[in-house]
Amino acid sequence: MTQNAHKRSGIADLLEAWLPKIILAPTTLAMIVCMYGFILWTGALSFTKSRMLPQWEFVGFLQFEKLFANPRWDVALSNLVVFGFLFIAISLLIGLLLAIFLDQKIRGEGAIRTIYLYPMAVSFVVTGTAWKWILNPGLGIEKLVRDFGFTDFEFRWLVDQEMAIYTIVIAAVWQSSGFVMAMFLAGLRGVDDSLVKAAQIDGANAWQSYWHVILPILRPVFFSAIVILSHIAIKSFDLVQALTGGGPGYASDLPANFMYTFAFNRAQMGIGAASAMIMLFGVLAILVPYLYSELRGSNRG
Amino acid sequence: MLKKSIAACVAAASVVIAPMTQASEVEVLHWWTSGGEAKSVAYLKERLEGKGVSWKDFAVAGGGGENAMTVLKSRAVSGNPPTAAQIKGPSIQEWGELGFLASIDDVAKTNKWDSLLPGVVSDVMKYDGKYVAAPVNVHRVNWLWANPEVFKKAGASIPTTWADFIVQAKKIKDAGYIALAHGGQAWQDATVFEAVVLGVGGPEYYQKAFVELDMKALDSKTTEEVFKVFGELRQFVDANSPGRDWNVATSMVINGEAAMQIMGDWAKGEFVVAGKKPGTDFVCVASPGTSNAFTFNVDSFAFFKQSDSENQKAQKAMAQEILGSDFQKVFNLNKGSIPARLGMARDEFDTCAHDSMNAFVSSAQTGGLVPSFAHGMAVSEAVSGAIYDVATNYFNSDTSAAEGKKQLVAAVQSAM
């Protein structure tokens, strides 16, 4: 009897030790194959002359040379810089301001918070389509203001090659700043009240206590927000597709749109794969320093 | 419990096996899912079922067929391609090179396809000298659709050359109408660009520069002239055009908001649906300077290798049916195009289609029959994509003609 019980507990122990691993195994396997496996696969493809289907004839860096000789890729990359910078900066600013205002213990906070957060629940395709109508000169803002009697009013960013990329910034900021606000709000709620009080006792006004005490405490939130926003920026695809279709011409293309067009519509899989690799490096350039600082932080702790 | 799960397994397995064991079936990948197109496909299905061949529809929606092509690639790579798929132009050659396509040469021989189809069309359908695809229709792309009412009000006449076009369009613009209804999407920009290339340079130049990709022809004074005319057109398009769909642009001509549109013959369907009569309510003429030429856009089904011999037979039955005069007539009446095979009864077609048929036959003899590069008939997707990029970027900016030519040459060279 006792032997039996002992045996059973042995199996239970074993199970307990192995169960987490067994349960995690399929996910790990799927991650290794579907994420890292395909990253390697894409990397390998970018060195081949693949056109419509994968072809294993290696051509060195030819596809990368072609990629960087392509004026459309230049446009896409510089758009990403403009879009990424403005999108992250404006979303952070608006999100932070909204969070600070909401944190003033105002009435109806729950309702207002939901209103600001709500755009996040809408997909980028819907956002893009709605803003396409709002910004269309013949349908949206321009027509509205003209109908009010200001017949000289012009607002045609959507159809202007130089300005089209900014319409994407507008729509993306509209969509994401509520989410940033939620992150900051959570951060603000976590700030120890006694610190703020101490600052007040030391004679700091509201502005000073935010600038010198609270914002430095929120640094990790800034960090996470920037990482999340920058990967949204790099993988932005559906918003461009819905809002401008990359146009006018290809003036508002982003790298993800470029990659899709070349890999799937134009049977130039090699160039598509090369552009995907460049995008990956872009993400890594942001993620690696972040992970490094995070890991270093936890080691020290 | 056990019983149930075994039953479920068997059921699941039979679902997987069933399509393989069923005799004589064609599975057809296409993206004709809307209106007249869907009706046309349903007719083919009906005809085949009458012959005891069952039809498995494999429709993947999405206008230009990009989605369908993505699905097709994955099916082909996994060794399970459909019987036939809607593939056109040089893509047929690419699939042929990859070794996926089945020869239907015996069907073509018995039915004398070589004498039914003009040489330029049958060349596209062959890989390595053997038929691997069957054409269902011929679209003429170089059409100018005009609203005669607007022309009358503006005191303008329908232009026959590009120089004249600019004169007439100015009159129309001054009268307060939009001269050229246009949707600013890359393929539409390319469609207009193609019409200018053909009208300014003529078929010979077109063939050399944009089909054979002869660098000398491409890097010539003529190309610069083409860009100059193409650039002039910017002023006749309204500011709201970027992103507009082609049928919206067509409706602007129908409503009398705009005078003209340059678009393939699928635009006719929009006029007809709006209850307009060709000749009186709207006019169809060849785009300026191209009355003796014809840019063709041929839709076709390519046939994939099948292992099952019953399915091979079904495949051949389908090929034969597609080029049958009955199917060609019904399909093209629905779709607004003209039959790919020559020498058919024409009484049911309208006057625009008659013009198209005449031009198709006559241009085939004079060498004016050229494949449309804007619609994937002339060059590989990579090259036509490069041309798209240059054309659309040029049309939407104020780049000079010389710079446009330089960009075009560079883009085509790097895509080859």
pLDDT at B297: 92
User: Which chain B residues are Cβ-neighbours of A267 within 8 angstroms?
Assistant: 91, 94, 380-382
CA distance B412 to B410: 6
Task: Of B254, B215, B267, B271, give the one whose Cα is nearest residue B383.
Answer: B215
For chain B, the residues whose C-beta falls within 8 A of a C-beta of chain A are 64, 66, 69-70, 73, 76-77, 91, 94-95, 98, 184-186, 189, 239-243, 380-382, 385, 389, 392-397, 407, 410-411, 414-415
Which residue in A137, A138, A267 is closest to B382 by CB distance? A267
Residues 6+ apart with CB under 8 A from B306: B83, B102, B312, B315
CB-based contact B88:B301 (threshold 8 Å): no
Lowest mean pLDDT among A89-103, A281-295, B111-125: A281-295
Mean pLDDT of B345-363: 89
Which residue in A138, A161, A244 is closest to B240 by CB distance? A138
Q: Is the pLDDT of residue A100 over 70?
A: yes
pLDDT at B17: 42
Q: Quickly state the pLDDT bin for A71 (edges 50, 70, 90).
A: confident
CB contact under 8 A, A52 and B73: yes
pLDDT digits (tens, 9 = 90+) for B234-263: 999 998 888 888 888 999 999 999 999 999
pLDDT at A16: 84
pLDDT at B63: 58
- B25-140+297-353 and B143-295+373-415, same CATH topology: yes
Domains of chain A: 71-300 (1.10.3720.10)
Instruction: Kindly report the length of chain A.
Output: 301
Which residue in A53, A248, A268 is closest to B242 by CB distance? A248
CA distance A46 to A54: 10
CA distance B314 to B235: 54
Mean pLDDT of A13-30: 88
Strands B54-59 and B25-30: what pairing? Answer: parallel
User: Which chain A residues are Cβ-neighbours of B302 within 8 angstroms?
Assistant: none
Q: Is the pLDDT of residue B35 over 70?
A: no
CB-based contact B253:B282 (threshold 8 Å): yes
Long-range residue pairs from A37-45, CB within 8 A, at least 24 positions apart, any chain: A39/A280, A42/A273, A42/A276, A42/A277, A42/A280, A43/A273, A43/A277, A45/A269, A45/A270, A45/A273
Q: Quickly state the pLDDT bin for A225 (edges 50, 70, 90).
A: very high
B36 is written with which tokens? 């007249």
CA distance A255 to A235: 8
- Which CATH number is associated with domain B143-295+373-415? 3.40.190.10
Nearest residue of chain B to residue A158 (CA atoms): B242
Chain mean pLDDT for chain B: 87
Give me the CATH topology for the region B25-140+297-353: D-Maltodextrin-Binding Protein; domain 2 (3.40.190)
pLDDT at A301: 40
Which residue in B239, B385, B396 is closest to A249 by CB distance? B396
Return the number of CB contacts < 8 Å for A and B.
92
pLDDT at B11: 47
CA distance B170 to B164: 10
Mean pLDDT of B212-216: 92
Nearest residue of chain A to residue B93 (CA atoms): A52
pLDDT at A204: 82
User: Could you please report the per-residue DSSP string of B28-87?
Assistant: EEE---SHHHHHHHHHHHHHHHHTT-EEEEEE---TTSHHHHHHHHHHHHTT---SEEE-
pLDDT at B23: 58
Which residue in B91, B381, B396 is closest to A251 by CB distance? B396
Q: Quickly state the pLDDT bin for A69 (edges 50, 70, 90).
A: confident
Lowest mean pLDDT among B67-76, B122-131, B209-218: B67-76
For chain A, the residues whose C-beta falls within 8 A of a C-beta of chain B are 51-53, 66, 69-72, 132, 136-138, 156, 158-159, 161, 244-251, 261-262, 264-268
CB contact under 8 A, A71 and B415: no
Mean pLDDT of A263-279: 89
Mean pLDDT of B5-12: 50
Which residue in B91, B380, B397 is closest to A249 by CB distance? B397
Q: Is the pLDDT of residue B408 over 60?
A: yes
CA distance B378 to B360: 17
Lowest mean pLDDT among A8-12, A197-201, B105-109, B319-323: A8-12
Lowest mean pLDDT among A246-255, B137-146, B197-206: A246-255
Q: Is the pLDDT of residue A49 over 70?
A: yes
Mutate to test the interface with A, among B237, B241, B392 (most CBs of A within 10 A): B392
Coil, strand, or helix at residue B304?
strand
Which residue in B382, B395, B411 is closest to A249 by CB distance? B395
User: Which chain B residues are Cβ-neighbours of A261 within 8 angstroms?
Assistant: 385
**Rounded percentage of chain B residues whose pLDDT exceeds 70:** 93
Chain mean pLDDT for chain A: 87
Q: Which stretch, A7-16, B21-30, B223-232, has highest mean pLDDT? A: B223-232
Mean pLDDT of B17-30: 67
pLDDT at B21: 40
Coil, strand, or helix at residue B134?
strand
CB contact under 8 A, B184 and A265: no
Residues 6+ apart with CB under 8 A from A193: none
pLDDT at B18: 41
pLDDT at B13: 47
Lowest mean pLDDT among B101-105, B124-128, B342-346: B342-346
Coil, strand, or helix at residue B13?
helix
Q: What is the 3-state secondary structure (H, E, C) of B191-240?
A: HHHHHHHHHHHHHHHHHHHHHCCCHHHHCCHHHHHHHHHHHHHHHHCCCC
Task: Of B234, B224, B227, B222, give the one whose Cα is nearest residue B169.
Answer: B234
pLDDT at B62: 67
pLDDT at B294: 93
pLDDT at A297: 64
Q: Quickly state the pLDDT bin for B364 (edges 50, 70, 90).
A: confident
CA distance B217 to B366: 20
Which residue in A158, A159, A264 is closest to B70 by CB distance? A264
pLDDT digits (tens, 9 = 90+) for A170-179: 999 999 999 9
Mean pLDDT of B337-360: 88
Q: Quickly state the pLDDT bin for B19 (edges 50, 70, 90).
A: very low
CB-based contact B98:A52 (threshold 8 Å): yes
CB contact under 8 A, B243 and A247: yes
Q: Is the pLDDT of residue B123 over 60?
A: yes
Mutate to test the interface with B, among A57, A68, A134, A266 (most CBs of B within 10 A): A266
Domain boundaries, given as residue ranges, for chain B: 25-140+297-353, 143-295+373-415
User: Which chain B residues are Cβ-neighbours of A132 within 8 angstroms?
Assistant: 243
> Which helix (H) or strand (E) covers residue B298, if one does?
strand B294-303
Distance of residue B96 Cα from the nearest chain A Cα, in angstroms: 12
Distance of residue A267 Cα from the nearest chain B Cα, in angstroms: 6
Nearest residue of chain A to residue B394 (CA atoms): A249
The CA-based angle B110-B112-B117, given to 5 degrees, is 145
User: Which chain B residues are Cβ-neighbours of A245 within 8 angstroms?
Assistant: 185, 243
Q: Is the pLDDT of residue B10 over 60?
A: no
